[in-house]
Amino acid sequence: MRPRSLEELVGQDDILGPGRPLRLAIEQDTLSSLILWGPSGSGKTSVARLIAAHTKAHFEPFSAVTSGLPELRRVVKVAEQRRIVKGQRTILFVDEIHRFNKAQQDAFLPHVESGTVILIGATTENPSFEVISPLLSRSLVVVLQTLSENALLQIIERALRDPERGLGRYRVEMDIEAMMSLVAFANGDARVALNALEFAVLHTAPGPDGFVLLTKEALATALQKKSLRYDKGGEEHYNIISAFIKSLRDSDPDGALYWLARMLEAGESPRFIARRMVILASEDIGNADPMALVVATAVSHAVDFIGLPECKLNLAQGVTYLASCPKDNASYAGLQEATADVKEHGNLPVPLHLRNAPTSLMRELGYGKDYRYVHDDPSAKTEQTHLPEKLGKKKYYRPKKREDR
């Protein structure tokens, strides 16, 4: 069911709709090197194959999973000969380019610079982190979005109607409720939608009239739990934990619970979530509510003691408590300022009155002289300085004053 023409491509109109620069470059065969970045099932390989169908250049697929540098050298050698003998360019399509390490990616660079190959790399990972800067600077990064519900509905309907490449010969009846259920299951991934649709059709017995009736219930029977897009080592992991922390920091328990559920359903470690909550309790709440650290630490212990699935309740309780707390980052900000002074001024001497004086020589040198023992003061308070002389009376800890405190 891959699109055979640009007109059949669904869901990326912002970059490949009529009149768009990338579409014009494909139609006019003036394409330069590209990095196609998008989630699984968004159409990266389909776009690459459409480029192959429209260009006069030779199209050479190359997989980072199954191919290595020896294969690359062979491809480049043939490309050089093709360019000299036929005057034909070579488009090198590298699927999952992020799987090549930095040194291996360097091998593409001279051939891209010389024009021997036009590189089209496909990746699900952020190219800022996974593709070397010299390649990025010589390529146009094209961002493909997760397919919308409408785009997935078009793809499903097309597959049901097409008797040659799709499932039209099975005479499937599928209502809109079942289609929307399949769209939700696919989670923006066309490949998941088509594979799931095929599986459901092939494993649902036809009725007496020969039609396969595909209802929401039939889909639920044929399909297993939806797989959420969440790579624990990839960008989506950091995007979601960032959304979670910012929801807590902004005192939004609803947002925090949603992102908590997203992480748990995708299989994130509850220990990782609990650790981030303990950090936030001191970084963003601090002494505005000292119990926040107690609660977060207790949640962390509960996660270890109870484990999944019940520890989800402990996490939820901790999340709603932390989100509802007043916020104050004075401890964190104070430490940052003090650290900056340490780095700027180096090893400033400890004031003499604060130094320990275990020997007579130290006492003769003035160590500990004029130190005022706080418990000797009736108010148990002393105004003596505790910073190096160069820093004077600098203030690091400045807790926020709020009406509710």
Read off the pLDDT of residues 27-86 as tens digits, 9 standing for 90 and up.
Answer: 888 888 999 998 888 899 899 888 888 887 888 888 766 777 788 888 889 999 988 888
Q: Mean pLDDT throughout 91-114?
A: 87
Residue 268, CA distances (Å) to 62, 100, 262, 273 in order: 33, 26, 9, 8
- pLDDT at residue 224 tops 70: no
- pLDDT at residue 381 tops 80: no
Q: Mean pLDDT throughout 4-23?
A: 88
What distance in Å separates the CA atoms of residue 96 and residue 63, rounded to the nearest whole number? 7
- pLDDT at residue 90 tops 80: yes
What distance in Å separates the CA atoms of residue 87 and residue 158, rounded to the nearest whole number? 39
Angle at 285 between CA 282 and CA 289, to 5 degrees: 105
The residue that leads in pLDDT, 371 or 336, is 336
Q: What mean pLDDT, rounded, does the chain reach?
A: 87
Identify the three-state secondary structure at position 73: helix
Q: Where are the alpha helices (DSSP H) in 213-269?
A: 216-222, 235-249, 253-265
Burial of 97 (0-12, 13-18, 19+ CB in 10 A): buried
Cβ count within 10 A of residue 223 = 18
Tell whether pTM > 0.85: no
Count of helix runs (H) and strand runs (E) in the chain: 19, 7
Query: What residues pair up with 119 in beta bridges, in sequence order?
Result: 92
- Which tokens hold the place of 328? 């104050």
Render the burial of 257-287: b for 16+ CB within 10 Å, e for the rest: bebbebbbebebebeebbebbbebbbbbbbb
- Is residue 323 very low, low, confident or very high in pLDDT (cuts 50, 70, 90)? very high
- pLDDT at residue 278 tops 90: yes
Q: Which residue has the tokens 């590298």?
A: 94
CATH number given to 235-324: 1.20.272.10
8 A C-beta contact, residue 356 and residue 368: yes
Cβ count within 10 A of residue 136 = 16
Sign of the torsion formed by the C-alpha atoms of 38, 40, 44 and 50 = negative
- Which tokens hold the place of 303? 């996660």
Tell me what pLDDT residue 96 has: 87
8 A C-beta contact, residue 91 and residue 52: yes
Query: What residues pair up with 34 in beta bridges, in sequence order?
Result: 120, 140
The residue that leads in pLDDT, 386 or 258, is 258
- Is residue 249 very low, low, confident or very high in pLDDT (cuts 50, 70, 90)? very high
Which H/E stretch holds residue 228? none
Residue range 13-143 forms a domain whose CATH class is alpha beta
Burial of 3 (0-12, 13-18, 19+ CB in 10 A): middle
Q: Strand pairing of 172-174 and 90-95?
A: unpaired
Tell me what pLDDT residue 405 has: 45
What distance in Å separates the CA atoms of residue 48 and residue 138, rounded to the nearest whole number? 18
Write out the residue limits of the CATH 1.10.8.60 domain(s) in the chain. 149-222
Identify the three-state secondary structure at position 37: strand
User: Please, which residues have CB within 8 angstroms of residue 397's CB and are 6 or more apart in sequence?
Assistant: 330, 331, 334
Count Cα atoms within 13 angstroms, Cβ side, for 70: 1
Query: What residues pair up with 213 in beta bridges, in sequence order?
Result: 173
Q: Mean pLDDT throughout 313-325?
A: 96
Q: Where are the alpha helices (DSSP H) in 266-358?
A: 270-280, 291-306, 311-324, 330-345
Query: pLDDT, tens digit, for every residue of 121-140?
Result: 999 888 888 899 999 988 99
The residue that leads in pLDDT, 205 or 323, is 323
- Is residue 403 very low, low, confident or very high in pLDDT (cuts 50, 70, 90)? low
Q: Mean pLDDT throughout 219-246?
A: 70
Q: Strand pairing of 90-95 and 58-63?
A: parallel
Write out the residue limits of the CATH 1.20.272.10 domain(s) in the chain. 235-324
> What is the architecture, at CATH level 2, of domain 149-222?
Orthogonal Bundle (1.10)
